[in-house]
Amino acid sequence: MSSNATISANNAAEPSHILNTDHRFWQIIRTVPDFPKVGIDFYDITPLLRSHINEVIDALLAALPDGLMDEVDCLGAVEARGFVFASLLAGRLGKGMILLRKPGKLPPPVANKSYALEYGKDTLEMQNNLPPERVLLVDDILATGGTLTTAYELCQSASHTVVGVLVLLDLVDLHGAFPVPVYTVLKA
């Protein structure tokens, strides 16, 4: 694991004073205040996607403990930016993907679950006729945990085993403990 990566694993909530805000990616990420609504600071990672994507994928892989990918059959790609990271990781690792999408985007049969966001409600769907696999969920940011908790619950209900979550950025003060280890490059 690289010295720039940090891990929040085994459901241990880490105090917010254990952050890695000195990581060089912070100079590239843009903070947009009051978006999508007043009081929310949005971390815009698109500059990283524009010109640092190989470094981001390297950092995501370095955040994982040695041997974890040997336990993973496929990546659970969470719409929408989780698709970007999961696709690039799957291509590099030779792993398959399961898509967790917004309603009406996948052919039936699907399982779905609604959940609350920090600024509204949403629903995720996934195909529920796939053979059980060991899944690593992949998304861009872990904020309140609603989307990733829903993705976890959908995978579990479809008989998949979720071995962990991989995100670029973990907003540690916005969520509680997660049911599986969370691996991350950045914390704020």
DSSP symbols for 79-100: TTHHHHHHHHHHHHHT-EEEEE
Residue of 81, 101, 125, 133 marked active site: 81
Give the Cα separation of 93 and 157 in Å (integer): 26
Choice among 14, 55, 79, 118 that is catalytic: 118
Cα distance between residue 2 and residue 175, in whole Å = 25
Write out the H or E segment, with its range, that includes residue 184: strand 182-187
Angle between helices 53-62 and 81-93 (to 10 degrees): 70
DSSP 113: E
- What sign has the CA pseudo-torsion 84, 144, 103, 158? positive
79 is catalytic: no
d(CA 49, CA 81): 10
Which whole-number Å values give the CA distances from 68 to 14, 28, 61, 73, 149, in the listed order? Answer: 21, 29, 10, 10, 20
Q: Note whether 109 and 125 are within 8 A (CB).
A: no
Active site residue 81: yes
Give the residue numbers annotated as catalytic, written as ranges.
81, 118
